[in-house]
Amino acid sequence: MKLLTTKLGFGYPGFPVGRDVGLTLEPGEVLCLLGPNGCGKTTLFKTLLGLIPKQSGQIRFDGHNLGDMPRRDVAKSVAYVPQAHDAVFPYSVLDMVVMGRTTHKGLFQGVGKADRDLAEQALNTLGITDLANRDYTRISGGQRQLVLIARALAQSAKLIIMDEPTASLDFGNQVLVLSEVRKLANSGLGIVFSTHNPDHAFACGTRVLVLDEGQTRAEGPPQTVLTPELLSSVYGVRIQVEVLSNGTCVCVPEFS
């Protein structure tokens, strides 16, 4: 599924957040959204999902205007992984993941064996099958984040939007999630994810969009776009970009 925005303005009534943002995502690509706190990343995602109305410009999925698409069609096309989620009811982890299948069901149609099989497959993909019968409210924040990603996988959408999916994960689980992002893109899915760590863009991003004060500062391949000058300007600290022996780029802050 192709995502395209042109001259997109987004925000809240009486409070514009971003303007003139254009991005393109093709199937099999990973677009990494970078920017400092408060630059508008989460608001942009809510707008792409149709949760809040755009203020100007266009959002198109496979040539279809988002505003003309029924909510069910949007849910079938795009899955969302939020930053965090605190459940009230003690659902099992498997039941939480099965909820990703509800968009494919009629009003009074329950989930079946095929839906549960897809949910179990998503848990297995992320290596958390052992959590299937655990109480979702009694697992760690990092584990809950993995469950939310599994739920998005079970939704079987063609595009997944992830809002800082590694924010509450330890280093090992961050690597796991980034590895899965690459695998999902290789399988033909389109992935958009935000992060505060430019190294994540180097690790698995096909392209990167740098957002600053609601506007696009740069867009393109990470190795081309993420220069020391740009990163230092956006984040307000001096940063160098080093190339490791295997060709991977990493960011190194300069401490005074």
The reported pLDDT for the residue numbered 84 is 66
Tell me the mean pLDDT in the region 96-109.
79
Q: What is the pLDDT of residues 206-232, one digit of tens each?
A: 999 999 989 999 999 999 999 999 999
As a whole number of angstroms, the distance between CA 150 and CA 145 comes to 9
Q: Which residues of 107-134 are buried (b: 16+ CB within 10 A; e: fewer)?
A: eeeebeeebbebbbebbebbebbebbeb
Q: Residues of the chain with pLDDT > 90: what percent?
A: 60
The reported pTM is 0.88
Q: What is the pLDDT of residues 35-62, one digit of tens each?
A: 998 899 999 999 999 999 999 999 999 8
> In this structure, are residues 199 and 219 in contact, taking their beta carbons and an 8 Å threshold?
no
Q: How many other C-beta atoms are found inside a 10 Å radius of the C-beta of residue 39?
A: 22
> In this structure, are residues 6 and 57 in contact, taking their beta carbons and an 8 Å threshold?
yes
Q: What is the pLDDT of residues 4-31, one digit of tens each?
A: 999 999 999 999 999 999 999 999 999 9
Q: What is the amino acid identity at position 213?
A: E
Return the CATH number of 3-253, one of 2.160.10.10, 3.40.50.300, 3.90.550.10, 3.40.50.2300.
3.40.50.300
